Amino acid sequence: MSTTDDSYSVPQNPDNLTQVSLKEKWWHILDTWKIGIIPLPLFVLAGLLIAVDCLGGKLPSDIVVMVATLAFFGFACGEFGKRLPVIGKMGAAAICATFIPSALVHYGLLPDVVVESTTKFYKSTNILYLYICCIIVGSIMSMNRTTLIQGFLRIFFPMLCGEVVGMVVGMGVGLALGMEPFQIFFFLILPIMAGGVGEGAIPLSIGYATLLHMDQGVALGRILPIVMLGSLTAIIIAGSLNQLGKRYPHLTGEGELMPGKNTQAAGPLTAAFSGKTDVTTIASGALLAVLLYMLGMLGHKLIGLPAPVGMLFIAVFIKLVHGVSPRLLEGSQVVYKFFQTSVTYPILFAVGVSITPWEELVHAFTFTNLLVIVSTVSALVTTGFFVGKKIGMHPIDVAIVSCCQSGQGGTGDVAILTAGNRMSLMPFAQIATRIGGAINVSLALLFLGNFLV
């Protein structure tokens, strides 16, 4: 249970406690004792109301009820992860918010009505994309223009070096364990770097079904657990990198890739929280993110570019040409901060319930698979760290972006950046996941079709 600072406090001297009114004591409880961001009394009330609905046999899947449901379970799992000894500081909150729900579903410990309503809500609303577009647009609008340009131009080199080294190391470990080269590369290494599920595992399974004459379901069943294990490894590494940054501050920009002025903690972002940004400006910032994503969807229909990537490029262009006013920038930044602090764990819970198969993850937990996966991801991230440092970037932040090359798509990026406490790196994470994954899948299938089959 977390505590927060507030504008008043109950006197610490026991002799003075009697002087504090009951009203102030209640306010103190509401403002101090929290599960995630939820005041403890409201958390208890939410749990009771959800229990009443579950006992009645129906939990509505409308947005009003689901906001309370996802917040209750998401922040409960996240708070549990934060309080675990040692690993609580290494990304356990994001891991627990995603994989505890998956395990609860598999073992039948989560009420069926909660599972059904959560799955229906998640798949019918595509709320993950609302989350991603607000995070991407807000983080881009928070960046300094010079830093933005330099970061996008330089990030590709450590990403490329990391993938090459990761593939070589993973292949070497697999061969040392006596595994077949074909199986190592196409069913272990490539799924790790494929860019997630929708953009990676599914296209790979379709390609394998066609080229290798195997059932697509069988192919997907072999690929998907590897994607999940790669993402889990990346989450743990990102959490460890965050702790490394706290111990050695000179190695990190705390969410900035390039050394220089603090472009996010100061300047416009501070102004956004100074009380000068009105509600209409914040609403406009949210609408800007949604409209840019719709433009990304249009680009996907016309040229096939993934909608989040298209939106990312459009947002960068608008930022570089001063296409929006400073007040609208502030509104976007407030929206970004809201989604970062308030929506992350509920989203991860929904992901765990709806699209994270626990049984497949457990089946892939073999000793040889784990060694190849951990060595591949570790080599990729380590290379990103040292290459980033060599070319004048903050090595820890570059390494966390490199972690996203092994992520489970957009959901993996959210979990990895949450564990690494670097949500402002979401634009670069999307490049690593979407573009990097698409290139890897395309080249691998092209090679497989022309040279091996």
Tens of pLDDT along the chain (453 residues) come to 655 544 445 555 544 545 678 888 888 888 889 998 999 999 999 999 999 999 988 899 899 999 999 999 999 999 998 888 877 776 678 888 888 998 999 999 999 999 999 999 998 888 888 888 888 888 788 777 777 777 777 888 998 999 999 999 999 999 999 999 988 998 899 888 887 765 677 677 778 877 888 776 667 667 878 888 888 899 899 999 999 999 999 999 888 888 864 444 333 344 444 556 788 989 999 999 999 999 989 988 888 777 877 888 888 888 888 888 888 988 998 998 898 889 888 988 998 888 777 877 787 778 898 999 999 999 999 999 999 999 989 999 999 999 988 877 777 888 899 888 888 888 888 777 777 777 787 788 888 877 765
Task: Give every CB contact of residue 139 below 8 A, 6+ residues apart in sequence.
Answer: 336, 423, 424, 425, 426, 427
User: Quick one: tokens of 219?
Assistant: 């192919």
- The answer to whether the predicted template modeling score (pTM) of the entire model surpasses 0.75 is no
Cβ neighbourhood burial of 88 (10 Å; 0-12, 13-18, 19+): middle
**Domain limit, last residue, from 109, 124, 139:** 124
Whether the CA torsion 407, 408, 414, 420 is positive or negative: it is: negative
**Domain limit, last residue, from 124, 157, 189:** 124
Q: What secondary structure, in 3-state letters, does 285-344 show?
A: HHHHHHHHHHHHHHHHHHHCCCHHHHHHHHHHHHHHCCCCCHHHHHHHHHHHHHHHHHCH
Task: Mark whether 132 and 79 lie in a shared domain.
Answer: no
Query: Residue 167 sits in which domain range?
Result: 127-452
Task: Mark whether 7 and 85 lie in a shared domain.
Answer: yes
Task: Mark whether 161 and 63 lie in a shared domain.
Answer: no
Task: Mark whether 114 and 189 lie in a shared domain.
Answer: no
- Please list the residues that pair with 35 across neighbouring strands: 38
**Domain limit, last residue, from 98, 124, 150:** 124
Based on the structure, what is the number of domains in the chain? 2
Task: Mark whether 200 and 101 lie in a shared domain.
Answer: no
